[in-house]
């Protein structure tokens, strides 16, 4: 069980969270998972500012706020992507558990999706990082996540490189030397995007897998054990069942050389995290 007080975690996650004055708003209902019942319940109390409902070139981007809980959520079209209070349950294991399985500390990481820049925040906690590539469809998501979540996109960091637009097209124009050069490939994409193809012979997962080093790891949110097993020599799927918003979260990991049964938890020692810690380090 988590060794953290939920109220303290909320305050820690939202440290520096800026709740802006609301002039006009209307009430909406969201659905989140209830651990008590195992069923969905209304996300009562959240509302949206009119100025926080944005129609970009690609999609409708919305930010819903619940000032009493010091929380705010990002929605793309009609799907909630992330909430401020929920982010360590999702982004910390997404980055830090795969890092414990690498043969050395991560130096080069690519993430796909993740326009809220929360994955980027976790990646840059490693002093070993030399290059981070972000493939994100919509620059509007990145800039407005900075406004609403205070998540830095680190545009001024020479180690960070953003490629905006359709990832299936971006993958065709990335420098050749990028392929086979990344320690971690983190895929945070919707099911719709995963059905797209990059070339006549490669789907999105197959193309992204080519970015990983032979001893690198590819990570995808949700159930992808079957698909990964067709691509990688070694595949594992993790289930996190302590998430406060959606209850269960699954991560599939694939590699051609990494032994997933031998994590080195000392890799995350000294990395500042709110939630994810090896059991022996919990207080």
Active site residue 188: yes
From 157, 188, 233, 266, the catalytic residue: 188
Q: Choose the CATH number for 86-281 among 3.40.50.150, 3.40.50.2300, 3.90.1150.10, 2.120.10.30.
A: 3.40.50.150
**Averaged confidence pLDDT in the chain:** 81
48-71 tens-digit pLDDT: 665 678 899 999 998 888 777 678
Quote the pLDDT of residue 71: 80
Task: Specify the higher pLDDT residue, 36 or 126.
Answer: 126
Task: Specify the higher pLDDT residue, 240 or 100.
Answer: 100
* Residue 79 binned pLDDT confidence (cut-offs 50, 70, 90): confident
165-192 tens-digit pLDDT: 999 999 999 999 999 999 999 999 876 6
pTM of this structure:
0.83
* Residue 2 binned pLDDT confidence (cut-offs 50, 70, 90): very low
Q: What is the 3-state secondary structure (H, E, C) of the chain?
A: CCCCCHHHHHHHHCCCCCCCCCCCEEECCCEEECCCCCCEEECCCCEEEEEEEEECCCCEEEEEEEHHHCEEEEEECCEEEEEHHHHHHHHHHHHHHHHHHCCCCCCEEEEEECCCCHHHHHHCCCCCCCEEEEEECCHHHHHHHHHHHCCCCCCCCCCEEEEECCHHHHCCCCCHHHCCCEEEEEEECCHHHHCCECCCCCEHHHHHHCCEEEEEEEEEECCCHHHHHCCCCEEEEEEEEEECCCEEEEEEEEECCCCCCCCCHHHHCCCCCCCCCCHHHCC
Task: Specify the higher pLDDT residue, 243 or 116.
Answer: 116
Calculated CA dihedral for residues 63, 64, 66, 72, nearest 10 degrees? -40
Please say if the pLDDT value at position 140 is more than 90. Answer: yes
* Residue 40 binned pLDDT confidence (cut-offs 50, 70, 90): very low
Please say if the pLDDT value at position 16 is more than 70. Answer: no
Give the rounded percent of residues in the chain with a pLDDT score beyond 70: 76
Q: HSE of 166 in the Cβ direction (CA atoms, 13 Å)?
A: 12
Backbone angles phi, psi at 114, to 5 degrees: 65, 35
Quote the pLDDT of residue 89: 84
Quote the pLDDT of residue 7: 39
Report domain extents, the chain: 6-84, 86-281
């Amino acid at each position: 069980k988590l060794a953290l007080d939920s109220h303290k975690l909320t305050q820690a996650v939202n440290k520096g969270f800026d709740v802006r004055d609301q002039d006009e708003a209307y009430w909406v209902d969201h659905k989140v998972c209830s651990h008590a019942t195992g069923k969905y319940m209304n996300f009562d109390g959240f509302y949206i500012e009119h100025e926080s409902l944005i129609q970009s070139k690609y999609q409708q981007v919305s930010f819903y706020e619940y000032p009493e809980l010091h929380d705010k959520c990002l929605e793309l079209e009609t799907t909630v992507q992330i909430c401020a209070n929920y982010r360590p349950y999702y982004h910390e294991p997404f980055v830090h558990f795969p890092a414990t399985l690498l043969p050395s500390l991560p130096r080069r990481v690519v993430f796909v999706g993740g326009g809220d820049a929360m994955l980027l925040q976790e990646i840059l906690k490693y002093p070993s990082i030399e290059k981070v590539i972000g493939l994100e469809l919509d620059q509007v998501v990145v800039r407005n996540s900075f406004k609403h979540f205070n998540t830095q996109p680190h545009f001024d960091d020479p180690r960070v490189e953003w490629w905006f637009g359709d990832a299936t097209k971006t993958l065709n124009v990335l420098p050749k030397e990028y392929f086979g050069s990344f320690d971690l490939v983190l895929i945070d994409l919707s099911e719709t995007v995963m059905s797209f193809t990059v070339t006549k012979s490669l789907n999105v997962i197959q193309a992204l897998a080519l970015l990983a080093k032979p001893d690198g790891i590819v990570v995808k949110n949700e159930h992808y054990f079957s698909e990964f097993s067709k691509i990688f020599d070694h595949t594992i799927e993790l289930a996190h069942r302590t998430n406060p918003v959606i209850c269960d979260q699954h991560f599939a990991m694939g590699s051609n050389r990494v032994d997933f049964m031998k994590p080195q938890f000392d890799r995350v020692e000294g990395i500042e995290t709110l939630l994810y810690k090896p059991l022996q380090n919990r207080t």
